[in-house]
């Protein structure tokens, strides 16, 4: 699907951030690399081995399993959890996050057509803002309006979409949500707005 295939009556496009605008692993893997490098310095642990372990834990059990995997493997002190959490929230990445090419093209066409782009994201607002700041937007930054759902009520509750509609004087029929998770589909349904899966574009 391309921009020209979307109902031209849509005036506002709402995107989740992770795995919709960019691959979340591009952020996480850089954090794992930096944390492993820190452990190599403090605990003389092989950084590549630790990075590979963290990535494997993420792929097998998800983000919440990663620290425990490395903690158990190397008998780490629990104090390192604080370092890991802080790094996850405020890391300065070696490499910028790159928007999916077809999503970048879609966003550029939305802007050219003088319509609105919103990022509405779940997750820790500090971390999500850090991701946004370290994404290569190619000049789109000034056209983005961001809402951090956790500052209101996380999706799938519809409150953040309802607020967005109210603050920008939109009708529900004006809005299209681009999603990649059941959470967003439920949110869109509860809000009474249309949605499309990001894979329709990718």
Mean per-residue pLDDT of the chain:
97
Torsion 66-71-74-76 (CA) sign: positive
pLDDT value of position 2: 92
pLDDT score of 157: 97
Provide Rg for the chain, Cα atoms: 19
Domain boundaries, the chain: 3-22+99-200, 25-90
Give 146-180 pLDDT, tens digit per residue: 999 999 999 999 999 999 999 999 999 999 999 99
3-state SS, residue 175: strand
Question: What are the tens digits of pLDDT across the range 87-128?
Answer: 999 999 999 999 999 999 999 999 999 999 999 999 999 999
pLDDT the model gives residue 197: 97
Per-residue pLDDT at 192: 97
Q: Tell me: domain 3-22+99-200, CATH 3.40.50.1000, correct?
A: yes
In this prediction, residue 147 carries a pLDDT of 98
**Tokens (6 digits) for 94:** 């070696």
Nearest Cα to Cα of residue 120 among 86, 170, 73 = 170
Q: Kindly state the percentage of the chain with pLDDT values over 90.
A: 100
pLDDT level of residue 77 (50, 70, 90 thresholds): very high
pLDDT for residue 177: 98
DSSP 95-159: S-EE--HHHHHHHHHHHHTT-EEEEEE-S-HHHHHHHHHTEE-TT-GGGEEEEEGGGS--TTSSH
pLDDT at 196: 97
Rounded to an integer, what distance in angstroms lies between the CA atom of residue 154 and that of residue 121?
8
Per-residue pLDDT, 136? 98
Return the percentage of the chain with pLDDT > 70, whole number.
100
CA trace torsion 100, 105, 109, 114 (10° rounding): 40
| Residue 163: predicted pLDDT | 97
């Amino acid at each position: 699907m391309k921009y020209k295939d979307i109902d031209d009556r849509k005036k506002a496009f709402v995107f989740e951030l992770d795995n919709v605008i960019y691959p979340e692993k591009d952020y996480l893997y850089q954090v794992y690399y930096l944390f492993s490098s820190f452990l190599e310095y403090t605990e003389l642990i092989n950084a590549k081995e630790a990075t590979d372990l963290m990535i494997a834990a993420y792929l097998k059990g998800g983000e919440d399993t990663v620290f425990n995997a490395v903690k158990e493997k190397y008998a780490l002190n629990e104090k390192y959890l604080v370092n890991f959490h802080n790094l996850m929230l405020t890391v300065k990445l070696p490499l910028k996050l790159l928007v999916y090419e077809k999503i970048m093209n879609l966003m550029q066409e939305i802007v050219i057509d003088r319509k609105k782009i919103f990022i509405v994201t779940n997750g820790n607002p500090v971390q999500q803002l850090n991701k946004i700041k370290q994404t290569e937007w190619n000049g789109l930054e000034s056209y983005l309006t961001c809402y951090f759902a956790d500052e209101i009520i996380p999706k799938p509750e519809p409150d953040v979409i309802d607020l967005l509609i109210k603050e920008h004087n939109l009708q529900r029929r004006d809005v299209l949500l681009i999603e990649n998770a059941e959470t967003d589909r439920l949110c869109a349904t509860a809000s009474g707005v249309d949605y499309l899966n990001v894979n329709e574009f990718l």
